[in-house]
Chain A
Amino acid sequence: MAAAFATSPTPLIPDEPVLRQPLQRRSFLKYAGATAGATALVLAGCKKDDATPTPSNTVVFAAGDVGVLNYAYALEQLEAAFYAQVVKTPATDFQTGELAYFTQIATHEAIHRDFFKAAINRDAPGQLIQDLTVNFSSIDFTKRASVLAAAVAFEDLGVQAYNGAGALIKNPAYLVLAGKIVSVEARHAAYLRDLLYPGDATNFFAGDAVTEPTSGLDRNPLKPAALVAAVQKYVTQTLDASQLS
């Protein structure tokens, strides 16, 4: 299975840093008759005009599937770090059983993080992004309400991130992996919302605050640039997802 996956027919070459849509990619290929590899080379040249030196404190998510995987890896690093802190310094007013559940969620997020790290290192050696340095100074870890509110925000953002990134993924195997993870993030979000907003039909597990009341769809899937803007305050490095769209 490992071998089959590693030799997946979709090449994991970071490509099309400028082209944002299938329409344009098709046009380019029509004109150029290029292979994906050649496309990457040509576009590397095309990018020259924007060549602003990348500061070392910036984390750039490259275009293509590797960039999406690194984007997911960044999110999971953030979530895992948050829950690790929750478990390390539990809120003084956690109710019975709540720390045990936070401990489980912390483990799930750490597993997601370590999975992406292993998968990227195997499928795209040398392209793993650096470790994020987190900044949670805006969260009061001593208060249950503060921790729950932050946790709900992180989980909902996780759902919005995976739902918004699904259509950017080319390799169907990675799409299924995103699907396998996003439903667990949704489970976390629903559980935490039921804790924070018991019986509140606007804000509980699938209240109108999270799902569209008319279509029943999760609200506002976020494209990477928007998601990154929402979580930037928790990360010391500058996150650049402009190539993922």
Chain B
Amino acid sequence: MDFFQLLSDLEKADAEFLDRINPRRRVFKYLGNAGQKITTAAVPAVLASFFNRAYGQSATLTAPVQAVLTLALQLEYLEYHFYNTALGIAGLIPSQETAAITTIRNDEAGHINALRAVLGTAAPTPYLVTDFDYSGGSGTGNGPMKNALIPGSTGNTNGALFFAAGQAFSDTGQRAYKGGAPVLNTTATKDILEAALNIHSVEARHNSHFRTVRRAIVANALGSAGAPAVSPYDAAPKSWISLVDNGGPTAPDGSKPASKVYGPGTPATGTPDASYPGEDNTSQAGVNLTTLGSTYTAAAISEAFDEPLDPATVKSIASMFTSTAGKAKGLFV
């Protein structure tokens, strides 16, 4: 019997053998199965303790890994404070949606805790709501999305502009996580990669919901998930991104502040792990999907794949929503 046969037999006899000799794998298994039993307050401490034991200190995270996680953390703060602020404004969020936005806000708080625990001592000082400019005015407070947090203002009936902003934020998040995944794909960071993937898919779930609600608002059918999408999909989008969704939501001043969220990053072409095509991409890994089956339209193909976005483009989008105070803290710089 040789060494490999021995390993194979050991694993057959004891399914957790390999987990036991490689304890890093247990960290997220623990989160996945037992997280429910931990109180919210205890989570940061529990996570921190696990990571410190499993990975040593954050000093062992390489600079590229830290950069990916820090940008992700900043995006989570952008989202968290936006939803948390909105929940505190009477009359902004229709009552049918309060539970959903509360869920989303709480998920972002969880993501913040998870990312801070992974970053450990490298985590930045927590960002405050005053570090953001939700008007999209880069600190002027007078950007195109300023009505998104004003109940019943122009363009914001039933919170339409608020949900539009939520769509743009969560799509920025899902594209940013996708763009960061290859950096986390190292032997030492497999568990961090898995955690990031499990945040990434939740951002996509949130995004799908924002889109579903936006259709319902346009159809005057709040609470109806079956409301129809209306071409060209900037106002009443599908629950998935179709081509570039006509540049995304339109602000009351007629501008398209989210157009970069759906457009290409830099570089736009190359291998999948080193390129950031726009959401209207119809070629995957060098396979031209328009020629695979004659019935596949470019729109359907684009819907079937979401695209990654590079950090520089993500920052250029997100920095529109940074206040002077936030910029001073290096937010999205």
Residues of A within 8 A of B (CB): 1-6, 8, 18-24, 28, 43, 46, 49-50, 95-98, 100-101, 104, 107-112, 114-115, 118-119, 122, 159, 162-164, 166-167, 169, 172-177, 179-191, 194-195, 198-199, 201, 204-207, 210-221, 245
Indicate with 1 or 0, residue by residue over B52-83, a CB within 8 angstroms of chain A CB atoms. 00000000000000000000000000000000
6 intermolecular pairs with C-beta atoms under 8 Å apart: A173-B272, A182-B197, A187-B204, A191-B208, A218-B201, A221-B197
CA distance A110 to B8 in the complex (A): 37
Partner of B99 from the list A3, A199, A245 (CB cut-off 8 Å) is A199
Partner of A215 from the list B1, B25, B113, B303 (CB cut-off 8 Å) is B113
Chain B residues whose C-beta falls within 8 Å of the C-beta of A20 in the assembled complex: 7, 11, 18
Q: Are A216 and B110 in contact (CB under 8 A)?
A: yes
CA distance A130 to B218 in the complex (A): 46
A119–chain B nearest beta-carbon distance, Å: 6
Inter-chain pairs besides A20-B7, A205-B100, 9 sampled, C-beta below 8 Å: A24-B18, A46-B2, A122-B287, A166-B193, A172-B182, A176-B308, A191-B208, A212-B32, A214-B110
Chain A residues whose C-beta falls within 8 Å of the C-beta of B22 in the assembled complex: 21, 23
Q: Does B301 contact A (CB under 8 A)?
A: yes
Of the candidates B114, B206, B287, the one having the most CB atoms from chain A within 10 angstroms of its own CB is B287
CA distance A222 to B240 in the complex (A): 24
Q: Are B195 and A217 in contact (CB under 8 A)?
A: yes
B30–chain A nearest beta-carbon distance, Å: 11
Chain B residues whose C-beta falls within 8 Å of the C-beta of A194 in the assembled complex: 208-209, 212, 225
Partner of B228 from the list A22, A97, A188, A198 (CB cut-off 8 Å) is A97
Contact residues, B248-276 vs A (CB, 8 A): 269-273, 275
Among residues of A, the one whose C-beta sits closest to the C-beta of B175 is A183
Q: Are A215 and B31 in contact (CB under 8 A)?
A: yes
Among residues of B, the one whose C-beta sits closest to the C-beta of A48 is B5
Q: Does B40 contact A (CB under 8 A)?
A: yes
A153–chain B nearest beta-carbon distance, Å: 15
Chain B residues whose C-beta falls within 8 Å of the C-beta of A6 in the assembled complex: 286
Indicate with 1 or 0, residue by residue over B91-117, a CB within 8 angstroms of chain A CB atoms. 000001001101110111111011000
Among residues of A, the one whose C-beta sits closest to the C-beta of B109 is A216
Chain A residues whose C-beta falls within 8 Å of the C-beta of B148 in the assembled complex: none
Given contacts A18-B8, A216-B109, contact A191 B225 (CB under 8 A): yes
CA distance A3 to B285 in the complex (A): 10
Q: Are A186 and B202 in contact (CB under 8 A)?
A: yes
B105–chain A nearest beta-carbon distance, Å: 10
Chain A residues whose C-beta falls within 8 Å of the C-beta of B40 in the assembled complex: 213-214
Q: Does B123 contact A (CB under 8 A)?
A: no
Q: Are A167 and B193 in contact (CB under 8 A)?
A: yes
Which of B126-134, B135-143, B288-296, B318-326 forms contacts with chain A? B288-296
Q: Does B226 contact A (CB under 8 A)?
A: yes
CA distance A183 to B87 in the complex (A): 26
CA distance A112 to B240 in the complex (A): 15
Q: Are B226 and A96 in contact (CB under 8 A)?
A: yes
Q: Are A110 and B36 in contact (CB under 8 A)?
A: no
Q: Are A217 and B103 in contact (CB under 8 A)?
A: no
Chain A residues whose C-beta falls within 8 Å of the C-beta of B287 in the assembled complex: 2, 115, 118-119, 122
Q: Are B240 and A184 in contact (CB under 8 A)?
A: yes
Q: Does B198 contact A (CB under 8 A)?
A: yes
B15–chain A nearest beta-carbon distance, Å: 9
Chain A residues whose C-beta falls within 8 Å of the C-beta of B4 in the assembled complex: 18-19, 28, 43, 46
